[in-house]
Amino acid sequence: MGGINSNMEDRPNLDDEDGLRARIAEAITAGGGVTSMADKTGIPVGTLSKYAAKTSTASFTNAAKIASAAEVGLDLIAFGRSPLASSRLHAVLERMSAVADARSSQRPAAEASAEELDQPNFIRLPVFADVHASAGHGAIPTSERANNVIAFDRAFLRDRGGNPEKCSIIFARGTSMKPTIPDGSILVVDHSQRDVAHGCIYVFNVGDQLLVKRARWRMDGRLELVSDNTDEGYPIETFGPEAVNDLRVVGRVVYFCRTP
């Protein structure tokens, strides 16, 4: 009496097994996909593939490993208390901001491990190759770890209105900002510029998505996120004071260039 039934499977929230399977699959995607999560968790690829396909329910132990590797709370997977993708994206943006803050205060950042160039007029910006700001319908990043650096002349960035110590590099994906920003372009984002200026291009966090859009203020004080590609009919997204919690400014795009 009152003891634990040792024959019970250690699976959380079994009353909502379909939802649990969906949240496990979402966490695997947020953590970088089956292969990446197999490396992070030690769970076999075949097992994770079944979880990702929603044909098998993870044990409590495996669910905990997946939650930890995807950097989301286990309670979110077990009970679905908030969107996993939003939680993952929040962690990504916080890590990117931390890298910029560490560099500006002369503290080492683990994600930007390369030493500064000998020339004082150059700065090495961390490249978040897996973080894509969508010039389209939204993108969820798969990794928050800077995996490269690109050196820029500090004066070059300042001439374009950027604070070199607060910049990092991500990539654009999609066609909504063509011809200004082609698909695959490098984006230098200044995370210190959070006040939105009319006509400038910013990376926005909208819900659980990252978008690169041109900002346009309306006479009634509402903010429009505008796509430069007028040929493909991308809609204008409008935000007012009531939607302030749905929109976050990641930073202003101070430079972009096409990749080969």
- Structural domain contains residue 75: yes
Contact 222, 242 (CB under 8 A): no
- Structural domain contains residue 3: no
The number of beta carbons lying within 10 Å of the beta carbon of residue 89 is 23
Contact 200, 214 (CB under 8 A): yes
Tokens 């997204």 correspond to what residue?
Answer: 237
Supply 96's token pair: 């990117």
Residue 139 DSSP code: B
- Structural domain contains residue 154: yes
3-class state of residue 201 by DSSP: strand
- Structural domain contains residue 55: yes
Q: How much of the chain is helix, strand and coil, in % rounded to 5?
A: 35, 25, 40
Q: 94 with 173, same domain?
A: yes
- Structural domain contains residue 6: no
Query: Among residues 22, 55, 82, which one ends one of the domains?
Result: 82
Contact 134, 209 (CB under 8 A): yes
What pLDDT digit, counting tens, does each position of 179-190 carry? 999 888 889 999
Q: Which of 100, 179, 182, 185 is nearest to 146 (CA)?
A: 100
- Structural domain contains residue 221: yes
% residues pLDDT > 90 (the chain): 21
CATH number for the domain including 22? Answer: 1.10.260.40
Per-residue confidence band for 1, with pLDDT thresholds at 50, 70 and 90: very low
Q: 124 with 246, same domain?
A: yes
Q: Determine phi and psi for 7, rounding to 5 degrees.
A: -90, -10
Q: Which of 119, 116, 195 is nearest to 161 (CA)?
A: 195
Provide the domain limits for residue 30: 14-82
3-class state of residue 248 by DSSP: strand
Cα distances (angstroms) measured from residue 141 to each of 91, 92, 104, 132, 187: 10, 7, 24, 6, 15
Q: 147 with 253, same domain?
A: yes
CA-CA-CA-CA dihedral for 20, 24, 25, 26, to nearest 10: 100
Supply 82's token pair: 């908030």
Q: Domain total for the chain?
A: 2
- Structural domain contains residue 74: yes
144 pLDDT higher than 60: no
Q: 130 with 24, same domain?
A: no
Interval 116-125 mean pLDDT: 68
User: Which H or E run includes 79?
Assistant: helix 74-79
Output the pLDDT for position 84. 47
Supply 88's token pair: 């993952």
Q: 104 with 63, same domain?
A: no
Q: Is 24 exposed, middle or buried, given 0-12, 13-18 or 19+ CB atoms closer than 10 A?
A: buried
CATH number for the domain including 229? Answer: 2.10.109.10
30 pLDDT higher than 60: yes
117 pLDDT higher than 50: no
194 pLDDT higher than 70: yes
3-class state of residue 243 by DSSP: helix
Lowest mean pLDDT among 104-113, 126-135, 249-258: 104-113
Helices 17-30, 45-52: inter-axial angle, 10-degree rounding: 120
Q: 213 with 90, same domain?
A: yes
Q: Determine phi and psi for 64, rounding to 5 degrees.
A: -65, -40
